[in-house]
Chains A and B, each alone.
Chain A
Amino acid sequence: MSDLDRFIDTFLNGAVLARYAPDILRGVWVTVELSVLIVIAGTALGTLLACIRAYRIAPVSFLIVVYADVFRALPPLVLILLAYFGLPNVGVSLSSFAVLFAILCLTLGAFAEEIVWAGITATDRGQWEAARPTGLGFTQTLVHVVLPQAVRMVIPPLTNRAIAITKMTALGTVIGVPDILNQATTAQSFSGNASPLTLAAVAYVVLFLPFVILSRWLESRFAWRKI
């Protein structure tokens, strides 16, 4: 057997790939489901908190800042293990899927809050000053005038962050979420062959590469750094 044959046999073994492709595909579904839920819930949470912060009620803003800081400073894996192994002992039993979703949603929420808030503060004061005398209330100005502009401005960094955090769904493997990586490592140990890992890597690239390219395009289009 030549070196190339051995390489193909180890990493791109047709029989192994065919045998475990359905498992990996099931994992793809779990990863996609989690990613969509996390992106929707996380950005919604972050945007909502940034809006609440715009009212500048000191104690409320303080709590939001503390939350955003803590979830930006802590590695998600620490929180995942803490929630998954700690909570059952105080009577809160969550599935591994729920733990992963909750932690990553809170993590994205923290980053999204900071990013959207940066957008709100970067929006020209004149926008507020022009909108209020036309009869719009504070909330109306925030929602209809300032927020649309702020969100437009922060779409590139928000997209980058959302990609980075949805990629962390792979951490679910550690607590047994049956995602792509989990299916692949299981298949790898059953088959004694590295091909399932190759397939998993390909699956992630197919899933995420379009978004990486999209974020590159958004960045050149919105040119956030020029602000």
Chain B
Amino acid sequence: MDQLIQQFFNWDIMMRAWPMLLRGLGMTLLICAAVIPLGLLGGLLAALASTSARPWLRWPGMALVDLFRALPPLVLLIFVYAGLPFAGIRLSPFAAVTVAFFLNNSAYYGEIFRAGLISVGQGQTDAARSTGLTARQTLIHVVLPQATRNVLPDLISNTVEVVKLTSIASVVSMGELLHAADLARSVTYNASPLTMAAGIYLLMLWPVVRLLSRYQRQIAV
């Protein structure tokens, strides 16, 4: 028991690792600030393409979404970070993470937005168009607000997944939270910094997870 506490909950080591982890947390938040808006934007475009009436837009849209949903994000990241340099395209870890996450997140957000767009009845579009709104105005002022509201829990739940996913950036030596914690672990030969990182993730994401569960139950009842 004592050994367990020494190994996982060593207070001294946690205190020493704290400044490192704090810097890592900053980087994690920076990555999130870059990849969440980009993913939402890409997802919206992917959803519009894959629900389009034009087959030349719909089929490639759906194919790309399915392709990037089938590829593990880590494979994508390593391909971008370690594969592309062979073709003379050398990206910094941050750029590689942004590109790989953009492709992966756009596919997932895209599927959610697509479900949202489909959930808004055709009657809404017909009614809006008959009042004289253009197709673009109908989309922005009538369809999108309803679509977004209908799939809001899914959007939030996917955003939790994105935040969790930023931890794989540690594999390409991006100095985010998990990388900082793992570095501290290898220096101190003690797992406490990792416990601490887990604690920080938990503190950030548990409230959201709880909120989602409660929200889902309300819909179910």
Distance of B189 from chain A, by nearest CB (Å): 8
Asked whether any CB of chain B lies closer than 8 Å to the CB of A174, the reply is yes
* B87 lies within 8 A of A194 (CB): yes
The bracket for how many chain A residues form the interface is: 35 or more
Residues from chain B with a CB closer than 8 A to the CB of A181 are 72, 74-75, 78
Does the CB pair A85–B194 fall under 8 Å?
yes
Q: How large is the interface on B (under 10, 10 to 19, 20 to 34, 35 or more residues)?
A: 35 or more
A169 to B, closest residue via Cβ = B72
Q: Which listed residue (A11, A121, A216) contacts B220, Cβ 8 A?
A: A121
Q: A74-B201, A75-B165, A89-B7 are in contact. Are A170 and B75 (CB under 8 A)?
A: yes
Within 8 A of A (CB), among B134-175: 150, 160-161, 164-168, 170-171
A194 pairs with B201, CB closer than 8 A:
no
A7 touches B87 (CB 8 A): yes
> Within the assembled complex, what's the spacing in Å between the Cα atoms of A213 and B220?
27
Q: In the complex the two chains form, is A78's CB within 8 Å of B87's CB?
A: no
Q: Is B86 an interface residue (CB 8 A)?
A: yes
* Pair B71/A78 contact, Cβ less than 8 Å: no
Q: How far is the CA of A46 from the CA of B9 in the complex (A)?
A: 29
Take A70-B202, A121-B217 as given contacts and tell me if A75 and B70 are in contact as well, using a CB distance cutoff of 8 Å: no
Q: Which of chain A's residues has its CB closest to B170's CB?
A: A77
- Would you give the shortest CB distance from A40 to chain B, in whole angstroms? 20
**Cβ-based interface call for B59 (8 A):** no
Other A-B contacts than A118-B216, A208-B70, A225-B150, 9 sampled, CB-CB below 8 A, are: A7-B87, A73-B202, A77-B167, A81-B185, A90-B3, A90-B4, A193-B86, A197-B82, A225-B119
